[in-house]
Amino acid sequence: MPPLREILLFAALGMALPAQSAQAGDPERGERLFRDCTACHSVIDETGTARVRGGRTGPNLFGVIGRHAGSVPGFNYSPSMVAAGQHGLRWNEADFVVYVRDATAFLRDYLDDPEARGKMAYKLRNEAKAHDVWAYLERIAAP
């Protein structure tokens, strides 16, 4: 039977592992991955300067960190996205990572509404890559 000290050490390591798996993303990898996002999204600051040029099908992602969902003035969001923002959804890493994997599934779960729909068709299935994109947005999309 292993000594108690070894058991406690393995238990402590086991508890530390989940915290490590919620790793910080790599903004350099996120920058490369974000190129796919520019098909729909731009990052244009408050002065009108494009930090990242891209499409207009999706909302401008400047200031997305901590912003209420569905709240960029003049953008035509799905009713479900607007409702999520009205119900308190502010973009944070945990929600972003789930959202980009499947926008409609995220909104249905968040709103507890099986009819909820998101407009974003792109799905970034890899969780680590989603963390990387978030890290990149933290670097370039902050006011």
- Residue ranges per domain, the chain? 26-140
Q: State the pTM of this model.
A: 0.83
Residue 72: half-sphere exposure toward Cβ, Cα within 13 Å: 22
Residue 24 confidence (pLDDT): 87
pLDDT band at 111, cuts 50/70/90? very high
Fold of 26-140: Cytochrome Bc1 Complex; Chain D, domain 2 (1.10.760)
Which class for 29: exposed (0-12), middle (13-18), buried (19 or more C-beta within 10 A)? middle
Mean pLDDT across 3-29: 54
- The residue behind tokens 């968040």 is 110
Q: How far apart are CA 137 and CA 61, in angstroms?
A: 8
